[in-house]
Chain A
């Protein structure tokens, strides 16, 4: 237990009235945060409990960032319904939250006759699901959309888009927080007791138990253990790892449209492919391998080797210097390894315990739609009266180097820190880094800063800016070296001052 936890536990002993909220959301991933934002419209109290020290530190920040059209899912399933509706909602949500959204469209490419038949099946399924604008196109059209593409035919889905998955998660949380939702980080739920009028939720850190009328399980990889705490048996989440490479922005303009292979029937993923990001990088991946651990997001040399080989085939101009980072995410799968493939989402109301499980791909796309469904379930138990003053929008977050000169001029005059570059690779200014620091709801961490402003995300991976951020945090925000953490308590960036007598802190 950290000191803060101990302090809270002591306070708790003397606090005779247990804390009460109307709704507890377990998990601050994209599902929990999107639900929190939707619930923040109403005159109820909502608390989000998260074991990590920020939003979206799990699967929500470790995926391709694709807003899927909905062609791949069997008609009538929750995946189909919520992917199509979520896709439809996404652009407006991103505009409200100032999250970059790029409508790219997608080509699912066939390389032989049998795969052309598959394309027809996918098109019919997509149309049955309500996916707009689907077309089977020939080589000539394919070449116009993506010069140099191989394959003999493709299914074009114009509604496929890309977003920044972590920015969306962060922005949903920020919007919810502005509208009164509490976030409790470093809060691991350890037990859930049913009480007469709801639940008492306990935590592993020895903080206060919290009473809530409704509990929403949005715990992602841990949805099974949280369900079990509430007495729901029979759910098992199998983590399934996907590894990725991030490529230098130098190659970013080589892809105009998303390109996927036709998926195999029993595949648990959509195949290794190239995906551009809204920031101009390219991702190679993801691989598909079931894992024993729900925490281990390490990469492996065998899979990285396979991804590199695939990358060289898919992008002939790729050179070794273009690989700038690797990462891995864990899909929360309901199907065990021996079954493979995809299970449908689970969204069920167990007498005020709202269970979400198996929200793997297209979970990011589905999030805005699932959030509405969650609100509908909450409404069946609680009367939801809209707040008079609810604001669903966030102020614009400008990237200095992407602005026109006259706007840059204006900003520098307003705040001189706009002229000072902290991250040379991404061109992030001191003002932008400090804005990111100040936007963080929980403890300030390097990963939190990175996900909010892209500092440390470029080709030098923080080599240049980490020493400068260390200094900024100390001098501008009073966070001394010994308090600086990568991703929360327990992940100290530095060991000690070399000459304590010379330190300023």
Chain B
């Protein structure tokens, strides 16, 4: 039989974002259901058996599983309903909100909700997405897939590894496979600076004497049946790889840690306005997308560095979604658009109501020393902060109060040398 169920708020995804959003929405009085496609809550945290989670939020270093467990318990205690092994196959708008078509073993059903919080997280960029040249033998995995196989399925993917890209998951996996008796020939990074956090470079590479080759790319993957190696080369003056200086790295496994892409296929199907830079939907200060009643938080909105900030953002989305249902959100006032200016890659939220306040997130384009973050409305400087060092891998968050700013203006965020 097809089941029909109605809730106030449906949260898609039970990773850290979904759990925090659901708990916050529930404590604000809404009836909440979380729909999770995996067999348990926690999302990607379940495969993160290393510690370092919760340093900001709990002032202690938890494992991913421990961190997720705290939020899962909070959801259970608050009375949030959790559906696991359930996949949202499509979503559509209805007169009273949304209808979510879901599938689980032995059952397809429809859940209707007045509001939806998107918390689907992100997926990893693949060999195809970075146009990795060469053959496609066995032994090429994204770092997160290898992490799941290693930490949840008892499978060592290889013995000698080359890690392409210096994203955090790749760094964590470099240490992980080394601890399990594998060896890591090198980590290569096409940019002149690492993609992951400084602490992960130190704790996962330096401490284990694993070389990191910056401004180095892949000329060719070698091997027909299983990976046998790769040719790597430095970036030359013309920006292309200098193949005259290529080096052969023997290895049997390639792990890719070359970026994350917010998983927004459902969002696009609702025609929400997207931000081409973040890869997520454009939102206002309530983290509501251009579709009324559709909220987004966590890595589906913007890829975060640390889970603590995901939880913080998601709790805000949950609170705002509950307020939206109570009709507390004032009628749409004239808006202010927020834009990335000099040295800034993106700004979130992309718009705000006039007189509103928000916690603004942004990232810089490249590493810089001694900079000033300036927020300007036309010629008026409304915020400035000096920072000794900024880099793209570390998100900058700024509490922003626009109570003095007129409607229909544009606010720009800049990062300039002090």
Where the two chains meet, the residues of A that have a C-beta atom closer than 8 Å to any C-beta of B are 245-246, 250, 295-301, 304-305, 308, 319-321, 323-327, 401, 405, 408-409, 412-413, 416-417, 419-421, 424, 427, 429-430, 446, 459-464, 466-467, 470-471, 481, 485-488, 490-499, 502-503
Q: A298-B220, A300-B133, A419-B103 are in contact. Are A323 and B159 (CB under 8 A)?
A: no
**Contact between chains at B148 and A467 (CB < 8 Å):** yes
Closest residue to A497 on the B side, CB-wise?
A: B154
Q: A299-B133, A491-B225, A494-B149 are in contact. Are A463 and B85 (CB under 8 A)?
A: no
A250 with B268: CB separation less than 8 A: yes
Among the listed B105, B138, B157, B241, which residue makes an inter-chain contact with A420, where contact means beta carbons less than 8 Å apart?
Answer: B105
B85 CB contacts on chain A under 8 angstroms: 420
Q: A299–B134 contact, CB under 8 A?
A: yes
Q: Once the chains are docked, how many angstroms separate the CA of A487 from the CA of B224?
A: 10
Q: Which residues of A contact B145 (CB under 8 A)?
A: 462-464, 466-467
For B225, list chain A residues within 8 Å (CB).
486-488, 490-491
Known: A421-B103, A424-B87. A497 touches B156 (CB 8 A): yes
Interface residues of B (CB under 8 A from A): 2, 37, 85, 87, 89, 103-108, 123-124, 126-129, 131-139, 141-142, 144-145, 148-150, 152-159, 180, 219-221, 224-226, 240-241, 252-253, 261, 268, 276, 279
Q: Could you say which residues of chain B place their CB within 8 Å of the CB of A319? A: 276
In the complex, the answer to whether A463 meets B133 with C-beta atoms within 8 Å is no
A466 partner residues in chain B, CB cutoff 8 A: 141, 145, 149
Inter-chain contacts of A490 with B (CB < 8 A): 225-226
Bound-state Cα–Cα, A296 to B225, Å: 11
Residues of A within 8 A of B89 (CB): 401, 421, 427
User: Of all chain B residues, which has the CB nearest A464?
Assistant: B123
* Residue of A323, A462, A488 touching B129 (CB-CB under 8 A): A323
Given A495-B157, A498-B156 in contact, is the A412-B106 Cβ separation under 8 Å? yes
> A297's contact among B37, B129, B135, by CB below 8 Å, is which?
B135
Minimum CB–CB distance for A407 against chain B, Å: 11
Residues of A within 8 A of B137 (CB): 486, 491
Could you say which of B106, B219, B252 contacts A301, with CB atoms under 8 Å apart? B219
Interface centre among A308, A324, A461, A496 (most CB of B within 10 A): A461
For A494, the chain B residues whose CB sits under 8 A away are 149, 155-157
B108: chain A residues within 8 A (beta carbon) = 405, 408-409, 412, 419
Determine which of A250, A409, A467, A491 lies in contact with B138 in the assembled complex, contact meaning CB atoms within 8 Å: A491
A503 proximity list for chain B (CB < 8 A)? 154
Contacts of A321 in B (CB 8 A): 129, 261, 279
Partner of B123, one of A297, A463, A497: A463
Are B155 and A470 in contact (CB-based, < 8 A)?
yes
- Inter-chain CA distance A272–B36, complex, in Å, is 42
Q: Are A461 and B155 touching (Cβ within 8 A)?
A: no
Q: How far is the CA of A250 from the CA of B263 in the complex (A)?
A: 13
Bound Cα distance A297, B220 (Å): 12
B-side contacts of A326, CB under 8 Å: 128, 131-133
Bound CA–CA A320/B141 (angstroms): 20
Return B132 CB to nearest CB of chain A, in Å: 8
Q: Could you list some 8 contacts between A and B, CB below 8 A?
A: A296-B224, A301-B219, A326-B131, A419-B105, A460-B123, A463-B142, A467-B153, A494-B157
Give A139 to B132 CA distance when docked, in angstroms. 39
Could you tell me the distance in whole angstroms from the C-beta of B300 to the nearest C-beta in chain A? 14
Contacts of B219 in A (CB 8 A): 301
Nearest CB in chain B: distance from A430 CB, A: 8
Which residue of B128, B149, B220 is within 8 Å of A467 (Cβ)? B149
Partner among A295, A298, A323, A471 whose Cβ is within 8 Å of the Cβ of B128: A323
